A and B are shown apart, each in its own frame.
Chain A
């Protein structure tokens, strides 16, 4: 069993404060018979090189040990590899993926690894870069061409959010598009405005075009340019999941 697992640690786990947690976690892995190869992310070694080595050696389960940020960094290349992805939120703190994957803590993460239950999600793509959650184009008048059928533009400026997971369902092969108008009035929650100020639609593919350079925040990372292709790859990434949580709590606020 142990031969099919590889673990990729966030570099922050090398800090003194995590030594005890890491030691306990590794002892649990050995105890449950799911120990395996290990790599640590660092500034000087590309994570992809480590995972490529694991795949060449026949390892099929790559487990990300850290937090949401660690997982999102790895998601930029993991979907193109033939691996099942595990997640251990050892760093702690708020985690949207913990609730999505049904992994509340290290103990339930180990149960997910040993349980071998999997769920397959769609993955978004901007240019050649993968994303799991969303693309945000803040404060823009950029045009979004949707599925080659029509063009959408916030005439007074607004924020465009293209979601795979969060507002959207990462199992439907579609991306959710939400455009918040910059001219939306401030309202109290008990006073529902007569008009809608958030555009909501769904697409499989879109092009962002702008005369001026625009910034895209893709899973927390910044891209800049005047033209981007955005798409979705159906059932592209497989995750090891816990027994509870899953998509019942997958929505991100």
Chain B
């Protein structure tokens, strides 16, 4: 008898007496968070199910299932979809966020924004429409509006 790393016993086809010992399953190696560092450019349909941080350049389409963090030097020219999104850099393209969008002071957005919840630090700029509360009962006061907030 042998084992595989899922911990399930595995039959060795060799007809040799073997020990009855079955070890505990090995601990899984943690999956690293996806990172696109400064000095790296991505072109195409990029994304992932987990969390992601971008400090480099991305153009095309960007879809992230978890939390996407856009660093201060990041340059994104893409349609962005994310579970949650924190932006400190620049994004050109429409943004759709399932949950919360946080715009830090250095954030610069050119495109339409849709999110369940939105926080905006003073200094962040948005050129486009902002739609907050999508997917829930949208109150008239929360319907599409355009925000232009210039850096102080």
Indicate whether A181 sits within 8 Å of B41 (C-beta atoms), given known contacts A119-B5, A155-B57, A195-B71.
Answer: no
Interface status of A182 (Cβ within 8 A of chain B)? yes
Q: How many A-B residue pairs have CB under 8 A?
A: 122
B42–A150 touching, CB < 8 Å: yes
CB of A167 to closest CB in B, whole Å: 8
Q: Is A246 an interface residue (CB 8 A)?
A: yes
B135 at the interface (CB under 8 A from A): no
Q: Which residue of chain B lies nearest to A177 when distances are taken between CB atoms in the complex?
A: B34
B26 touches A248 (CB 8 A): yes
Q: Is A223 an interface residue (CB 8 A)?
A: no
Partner of A247 from the list B5, B12, B14, B37 (CB cut-off 8 Å) is B5
Binary contact readout B34-45 vs A (1 if CB under 8 angstroms, 0 otherwise):
111111111111
Q: Does residue A66 face the partner (Cβ distance < 8 Å to B)?
A: no
A196: Cβ under 8 A from any B Cβ: yes
Cα–Cα distance between A152 and B54 once the two chains are bound (Å): 13
Nearest chain A residue, comparing its CB with the CB of B74: A195
Q: Is the CB of A149 within 8 A of B23?
A: no
Quick check: B3 and A169 within 8 Å, CB to CB?
no
**Set of chain A residues within 8 Å of B32, measured between Cβ atoms:** 167, 176, 200, 202
CA distance A4 to B12 in the complex (A): 12
Q: A246-B26, A247-B27 are in contact. Are A181 and B39 (CB under 8 A)?
A: yes
Q: Report whether over half of chain B's contact residues are helix, strand or loop; otherwise say mixed.
A: loop
By the criterion CB–CB under 8 Å, are A118 and B12 in contact? yes
- A231 located at the interface, meaning its Cβ lies under 8 Å from any Cβ of chain B in the complex: no
Chain A window 91-119, contacts with chain B (Cβ cutoff 8 Å), 1 for yes, 0 for no: 00000000000000000000000011111
CB pair A181 B38 closer than 8 Å: yes
Decide: A155 and B40 in contact? CB cutoff 8 A.
yes
Docked-complex contact B4 and A120, CB < 8 angstroms? yes
Q: Are B71 and A194 in contact (CB under 8 A)?
A: yes
Q: A196 and B71 in contact (CB under 8 A), knowing A155-B39, A247-B29?
A: yes
- Residues of B near A158 (CB, < 8 A) are 39-40
Given contacts A61-B14, A184-B39, A243-B23, 17 further A-B contacts (CB under 8 A): A1-B16, A4-B14, A118-B3, A118-B12, A150-B46, A153-B40, A153-B41, A155-B39, A156-B39, A179-B40, A181-B37, A196-B55, A197-B39, A198-B37, A246-B26, A247-B26, A250-B29
Pairs A–B under 8 Å by Cβ, sample size 9: A116-B18, A150-B45, A158-B40, A176-B32, A181-B40, A196-B53, A200-B33, A247-B29, A248-B27
